[in-house]
Amino acid sequence: MRKVLLSMAAVALLFTACNDDSKAINQEQEIDMSDFYVYTDGDDGSASKSANSKNKLKTCHTMNILNRQLNENPGLAKKMYDIEYQTRAFIAGKKGGNGNGNGGGGNGGGGEPTPDNLGIINIPVYVHVVYSNSNENISDQQIASQITVLNKDFRKTNNDITLVPSEFDAVVADSEITFSLAQTFRHSNSRASWGTNNDVKSTYPPVSPSTHLNIWVCNIGGGILGYAQFPGGSPSTDGVVISPQYFGTQGYVSAPFNGGRTATHEVGHYLNLRHIWGDGRCRQDDFVSDTPSSDRPNYGCPSYPTAHCRSNDMTMNYMDYVDDACMYMFSEGQKSRMRAIFASGGPRESMAP
């Protein structure tokens, strides 16, 4: 986005002939912590919740939870700052280290990214099905259909990838991340809805979160589709929560979020991706340079082009809020950001091959 491009250009001017050490220091200077504090509580009123529920607008509570955790845990901001530092050093190193990178290629840069030597990263998945009725006790087939979608979306083998407009063709990414179901745990519980305060995780704690992605499938309530925790949070709440009717593509699923893309979106957060519009105005950043600036989420199925902030929104990105049928790509910049957390020193290093 624009701010990052400008600041990267400034770095290039100042440090054209610098070595790796000074480059790392520059990375530290680049981190604008104001972007970490994204106050979304205003969007959390009961009025908007019920409207969302009625209109079937996508509602993800990941940022609300991040804000709460940042308030409750003074050490978390520093931890996330360190992760951001490591991420940017990793991405800067990938660009070849001559200090004159073009900020990730901008829109349509199209350059082949430097391989990061991490290879294909497979993440084993534990699914915790927590149900109060037989519908919510989703079938093994429904769970399998979700794992299939994750593998297609993260490997760019989804059929609808062909719908990406030519403007964004050059930055469509195969993240080279795969998922395999390790085990399903089933828990009957009379509680009908679990809210967004991680209650389900304290009731049924994650299993081996340092090596496994934990997904809880339970009724969240309030029209909320899902929520995730960013890297850096407590291991005891690490993972993704999704309501059963938005999980997978068959069985107990509900249109227009019956394409398995709620999990793709939430796992994106789990792998350190922000919402594509940066949860703020045009200058608020998603920390990814090849996604256009926007000042709002898109809903439904927007026609192309849809423009905000003087550029066309990448409405078809998994990290927007559109219907499942209308999101079908990650960008190269998002790929780099996700893979950085598996690199040496990264918060999910223990998951890397």
Which residues make up the interface to Zn ion (CB under 5 A)?
A: 60, 62
Left (φ > 0), alpha (ψ -120 to 50) or beta: where does 345 sit?
left
Q: Which is nearer to Zn ion, 27 or 317 (CB)?
A: 317
Instruction: Give the nearest residue (CB) to Zn ion.
Output: 60
Catalytic residue among 30, 136, 266, 332: 266
Peptide bond into 256 cis (omega under 30): yes
Q: Which is nearer to Zn ion, 106 or 280 (CB)?
A: 280
**193 to each of 133, 222, 333, how far by Cα in Å?**
11, 9, 36
Stretch (H or E) spanning 227:
strand 226-228
Reading the block at residue 248, the tokens are: 């997978």
CB 59, min distance to Zn ion, A? 9
Q: Which is nearer to Zn ion, 26 or 196 (CB)?
A: 196
Q: Which is nearer to Zn ion, 290 or 320 (CB)?
A: 320
CB-CB neighbours of 263 under 10 Å: 29
CB 321, min distance to Zn ion, A? 8
**136 to each of 199, 241, 245, how far by Cα in Å?**
17, 14, 8
Active site residue 266: yes
CB 134, min distance to Zn ion, A? 29
CB 352, min distance to Zn ion, A? 24
Q: Which is nearer to Zn ion, 27 or 262 (CB)?
A: 262
**How large is the angle between the packed helices 74-94 and 20-30, nearest 10 degrees?**
130
8-state DSSP, 130: E
∠ CA 68-28-74, nearest 5°, is 25
CB 269, min distance to Zn ion, A? 5
Q: Which residues pair with 311 in a beta bridge?
A: 308
Indicate which residues carry an active-site annotation.
266
